[in-house]
Amino acid sequence: MAADLQTISAAREALSSGDVARAEALALAARTEPALALDAIEVLALAAKARGAGERYENLLREAAVLAPERTWPRNDLAEWLHETGRLRDAEAVLRRTIADQPGNPDALMRLGNMLSEREELVEGAEHLEAAIRIVGPHPQLLADLGRNLLRQGRLEEAGPLLAEAAHAMPDALPPLTWLAELEEQAGRFERACAVLSRAEALALRQGSDVTLQRVTLLSRTEEWPMGLAMLEAETAPSGPALLLRGRLRDRAGRKTEAWDDFTAGKDALARAASRSYPARAVGELVRQWQDVFTADRFAGFLPAERRKGVPQPVFILGFPRSGTSLIEQVLASHSRVRAGGELPFGRELAELAHARTQGAFPRDPDGMSEALLDTLGTHLRDHYLARAERYGLLEKGADFFTDKLPLNALYLPLLQLAFPQSPVIVVRRDPRDVMVSAMSHDFTHGFACGYRLEDLALHYARMDALTEHWLEELPVPAHELRYERFVGDQEEETADLMAWLGLDAEPRQMAFHTLPRHAPTPGHAQVREPLNRRSIGRWKGYAKELAPVLPVLTEAIERGGYAAFDSPIASSGAQEPTIN
């Protein structure tokens, strides 16, 4: 046995020195000894990775996980490899199995927490990060990861101390400082943001990097925005986010052609970096399947769930990204009886649940659902949704409603109606041309990654607008249509009408929604902290030439919203200096 142990030790030394062939030979010799098989497999796996033999590396990790299910490294390394190679769902499955078998595995909890955070499932991601901290204590990296997650949720007061502690404990780590500066900026504390960012800049300079983008983001919120534009124009190879920000600043300076060039180049860079593209054909087929399932006659065959008494009910806010949904949510959440839920992922989960409960029939085979399923699906959907809402802290007493503004809910609306047939639906409309300009100037992944080319944006907008109209005509949806431009023009009357429709009296603080301490964790966070203004209405007119190729796709949506002939004093007054939205 001693000789075998020496063989493993020699194999590790050979691997460390770069002699992969010798390491493999020694490990293969030791692998015949059962007591050393796991160590030998580990060496062989590392050697395969060093050679770039990814498939062999993965197979060896899987073999090690079966051989020693109690050990943590095989599953942790397998999940990391799957994540690195873009198989995120497979990585998630491995991590969830690991946590089920090894609930005390902090590495798996951290990895899953960060993975969920990356794809905006922030509440569950935070839960896993918090569980890891309970096991290992306040590790600085875990504190930083959790702080970043809470920052993205808009929970600034909770995120601040975590990021501050992480920055203190890791003085040479740049991310906690930059996240802390971002937090201060989003909270409107610009002097403190500048102070933290100065610390970050000094550290970045020592490390050979920079925080120019964040400095310009901060300047863009002040009268010194031209200085920020000059900084970005001095960049030789700006990143995708930098191009979008530079475009927004050039737009503000009235340099429309240059701004649009930045928008398109920034979007292209972001799409290539993340390998994102819009699956136009697949989305079209999915929409068709949903419409086949939820015709008026078929929908009437489902038994809607009864309202669960004693808990707040969801208010569904439908609208394309950049259409004003964050604004409407902020106005609603300023009311004492309404809580902000944000972009809840529950609609997609209901679709997955419906697919599972129909054993794959939904949505491809609308006739393959049993009568028993038709009678019980709505209740199951309601119970799942409310269980998730409770986990998000949205069912606390003291409120009548909570908001759900995930943009994709236009697709999931029939399932949401089965689960909550009495729940209000607010359909937010804005001139599609203004939406296109605003959407091109910001990064977002909603809508099956439609936001990276103007052509895809227009196609998906047209599809979702037509689908929403279809549901309103076919299904018994209790909907209130709200036009962004009219809301800006008469906030008081529009707010009163909206709240009356919800069965609540408007409250004075709703007129000062921008003072609400809540932070909206969306690209529109800066706008909902400002009083209403007309600056972004008619912004599209500066980009009429650039939008011309997609106008045929948007024509029906424009006319459906009444915008082709829309000639109110608001619209005809002309855009003032455009906001960075």
Burial class of residue 216 in the structure, from the number of CB atoms within 10 Å of its CB (0-12 exposed, 13-18 middle, 19+ buried):
buried
Query: Going by C-beta distance under 8 Å and a sequence separation of 6 or more, which residues neighbour residue 460?
Result: 278, 283, 447, 448, 450
Q: Rounded CA gap, 237 and 430, in Å?
A: 35
User: What distance, in Å, lies between the first and last C-alpha atoms of the chain?
Assistant: 69
pLDDT digits (tens, 9 = 90+) for 178-210: 999 999 988 888 899 999 999 999 999 999 988
pLDDT in tens, 105-158: 999 999 999 999 988 888 899 999 999 999 999 999 999 999 999 998 888 999
Dist. CA 108–CA 73, nearest whole Å: 10
CB-based contact 42:14 (threshold 8 Å): no
- Sheet containing 338-339: give its strands across: 338-339, 401-404, 313-318, 425-429, 479-483
Residue 495 has pLDDT above 90, yes or no: yes
Q: How far is CA 4 from CA 28, 37, 46, in A?
A: 11, 11, 19
Q: What does the pLDDT average to over 536-563?
A: 94
Tokens of 522: 């969306």
**Across all residues in the chain, what is the average pLDDT?**
90
Q: Which of 336-345, 525-534, 562-571 has the highest mean pLDDT?
A: 336-345
Contact at 8 Å (CB) between 89 and 58? no
Q: Which helix (H) or strand (E) holds 12?
A: helix 2-16
Q: Which two tokens stand for residue 265?
A: 């180049």
Helix (H) or strand (E) holding 106: helix 106-118
Cα–Cα distance between 554 and 541 in angstroms, integer?
15
Alpha helix locations (H) across 220-324? 225-233, 240-252, 256-274, 280-293, 296-300
Distance, in Å, from the CA atom of 566 to the CA atom of 581, rounded to the nearest integer, reads 22
Question: What pLDDT sits at residue 188?
Answer: 83
pLDDT at 564: 78
Least confidently predicted of 1-10, 309-318, 366-375, 434-443: 1-10
**In the predicted structure, residue 539 carries a pLDDT above the cut 60:** yes
- Separation of alpha carbons 275 and 273, rounded Å: 6
Nearest to 289 by CA among 221, 231, 226, 360: 360
Write the secondary structure of 23-72 as one string of H (helix), E (strand) and C (coil): HHHHHHHHCCCHHHHHHHHHHHHHHHHHHCCHHHHHHHHHHHHHHCCCCC
Q: Which of 4-13, 35-44, 234-243, 425-434 has the lowest mean pLDDT?
A: 4-13
> In the structure encoding, which two tokens stand for residue 47, read together?
């050697």
> pLDDT at residue 352 above 90?
yes
Q: CA–CA separation, 504 vs 480, rounded Å?
A: 14
Q: Where are the domains of the chain?
A: 309-345+386-572
- Kindly indicate the confidence band of residue 565, based on its pLDDT and cuts at 50, 70 and 90: low
Q: Which pair of tokens denotes residue 194?
A: 């500048």
Q: How confident is the model at residue 423 (pLDDT cuts 50, 70, 90)?
A: very high
pLDDT over 90 at 1, yes or no: no
In this predicted structure, what is the pLDDT of residue 529? Answer: 52
Please give the CATH number for the structural domain made up of 309-345+386-572.
3.40.50.300
Backbone φ and ψ of 240, nearest 5°? -55, -50
CB atoms within 10 A of CB 489: 18
The helix-helix angle for 106-118 and 140-153 (nearest 10°) equals 30
The pTM (predicted TM-score) of the whole model is 0.84
Buried/exposed 528-537: b ≥16 CB within 10 Å, e otherwise:
bbeebebbbb
Report yes or no: 220 and 241 within 8 Å, Cβ to Cβ. Answer: no
Residue of 170, 176, 168 whose CA lies nearest to 150: 176
Determine which of 32-36, 55-59, 321-325 has the lowest per-residue pLDDT on average: 32-36
pLDDT of residue 59: 95
